[in-house]
Homo-oligomer: A and B are copies of this chain.
Amino acid sequence: MTFTPAVTEQRFVLDQIVRIGELAASERFAAASEDVVDAVLEGVGQFAAGEWAPLNRAGDTVGAKWTPDGVVMPEGYPQAYKDYVEGGWGTIGAPEAFGGQGLPFALSTAVLETLGTANMGFALCPTLTVGAIEALVHHGTPEQQAAYLPHLATGEWTGTMNLTEPQAGSDVGALRATATPRGDGTYSIKGTKIFISFGDHDMAPNIVHLVLARTPEAPAGTRGISLFLVPKYRLNADGTPGDSNDVRVVSIEHKMGLHASPTCVLSFGDSDECVGELIGPEFGGMRAMFTMMNNARLNVGLQGVQVAEAATQRAVAYARERVQGARKTGAAAIIEHPDVRRMLLRMKAQTQAARALVYYAAAQVDRAAIGEAGAQNRLEVLTPLAKAHGTDLGNEVASLGVQVHGGMGFIEETGAAQFFRDARITPIYEGTNGIQAADLVGRKLALDNGGAFAGLMADLRGATSPALAELVAACDEVGRAMQAMDADDKLAGSYPFLTMLSVATCGWLMEREGAAVGNDDFGRMKKACVRFYLEQIVPEALGLKASALAGAEVLYAVEADAFAV
């Protein structure tokens, strides 16, 4: 079960797509020198390969376990998490004012990619902590920031996001958890949350839950939601974790994959002793949630890259070693067979495309942070693409990885099956990919009076290869047509349109990558992947235009009841 950190590729994408050198030229990111970037990529690669990758299989086979005293992680996880904190790998992108290193989000993206390629379930824990940090940085009071951020920025304490309730999934506005003022500025929190990743575990002395709830007399729907900070243990006067805060882990889910990540049902305030603090203004919960979720969405898109990279490495290793059938020169490893080779080249090309897309989106976070014009709008348009298409590609590549293994791919010991199972949650959580598509054709096409979308299209029109130019023109046409459609027609075509626009964006980025490489081994492989992408994957996306423009009429041609006929 080898894992090789993709350092050369990461460095290349940081240079050519993120253009991290431009970021390092800013005061804010001056620390991101070439040497630091190299040291970070190499360092986390060694750490992940040495400490996290070896735990991946036990994460799947043993998994996190519920006990009456809380969730217990598999053997080795608490120590490996401690080493992660002590190595400083949690602090890369966290603000310097609170003990972080203040390096670009795009670099922390590379760090998280490496950790998640080594062990995707484990890496979900830091991913969630990032969301909590973001919420506090943007919406916390100075006191809240001082009390919590230093512990979160290092990863010493971990964070969670508590949105979902049994009746409130994609429909966040339907949630019922309550927050009642206690008269001292704090709130008494009560309610049950489900699907809380790393809602409990034994790797950190405290866990910081960010909980959406309703204050008394809050209006119905999303307008009445507020965000609360609810620590697992209340803080003592000296800031250390003290008494239990009446947050109980009721159970963990029995899932198809990602077993290293405990998916918890949390009960807040069973004994009416759960105390929370408001984060941001009352009824500001949705806005604060989106602060948490936007970067979280990029990080879920990044999970697509993680699992794609892991599945590709595993499949390439197997295909080079497994001898089956003959080629001109005699018995041959299966990588020599054309259809196997096609699958492997597709896996490599799609992995690179997903990485380019997610890193490019991550770069906009940093560019917005240094005030670059248009970066925030670009980020907004890219976020649903990075989340949805990144995770779709993770699933496609993981499935190809199973196929390359033949019958062995279905046997759990091989490991390919784990990637396939683990990947399947990523198009669902942090807003289903359908929700991402709705966000694209709803909010994002309209953003800045269409300017945000038009800006991306203007860049994409710089693409030169013929099929890609045709795809860009098709995206343009669909985007314009959608402006005249009613909501249902737009939604009916939203998913195919998201895929077309994602492939167009990936193609444009891949074209840029292909132009930047030399003729060394890395460069020749990159060029083959770029060619494959532009000549074979881009034309497939053209086939989606009819669906994107089809409208909703056919979907409602029969009643819902008739679907059961």
Interface residues of A (CB under 8 A from B): 4, 8, 164, 167, 169-171, 174, 194-195, 253-258, 313, 316-317, 319-320, 323-326, 333, 335-345, 348, 395, 399, 402-403, 406-407, 409-413, 417, 420-421, 424-425, 427-429, 432-434, 437-438, 467, 488, 491-492, 494-495, 521-522, 524-525, 527-528, 531-532, 535-536, 539-547, 550, 552, 554-558, 560-565
Contact = CB atoms under 8 A, between A and B. Distances in A.
A348 to B, nearest CB: 7
Contact of A543 (B313, B399, B421, B542): B542
B255 A524 contact: no
Contacts of A409: 424, 428
B536 A547 contact: yes
Contact of A550 (B438, B521, B535): B535
A564 B424 contact: no
The 5 closest A-B pairs by CB, nearest first: A543-B543, A338-B491, A539-B546, A540-B543, A256-B417
Contacts of A255: 410-412, 417
The CB with the most chain B CB atoms within 10 A, among A174, A536, A541, A547, is that of: A536
Contact of A325 (B171, B195, B425, B521): B171
A539 B170 CA distance: 31
B564 A320 contact: yes
Contact of A492 (B338, B348, B540): B338
A266 B541 CA distance: 46
Given A254-B413, A339-B494, 6 more contacts: A174-B324, A255-B411, A255-B412, A339-B492, A524-B557, A536-B547
A23 to B, nearest CB: 27
> What DSSP secondary structure best describes chain A's contact surface?
helix
A141 B354 CA distance: 58
B338 A488 contact: yes
| Identical copies in the complex | 2
B521 A316 contact: no
Contacts of A556: 341
A565 B412 contact: no
B403 A434 contact: yes
B432 A403 contact: yes
Contacts of A429: 407
Given A335-B563, A525-B558, A406 B432 contact: yes
A555 B317 contact: no
B532 A554 contact: yes
A484 B556 CA distance: 46
Nearest to A536: B547
A195 B413 CA distance: 14
Given A335-B560, A428-B407, A341 B555 contact: yes
B540 A547 contact: yes
A175 to B, nearest CB: 12
B170 A406 contact: yes
A422 to B, nearest CB: 10
Nearest to A490: B338
B342 A495 contact: yes
19 contacts: A254-B413, A255-B411, A255-B417, A256-B411, A256-B417, A256-B421, A313-B564, A335-B560, A339-B491, A339-B492, A342-B492, A342-B495, A407-B428, A524-B558, A535-B546, A536-B550, A539-B543, A540-B547, A542-B543
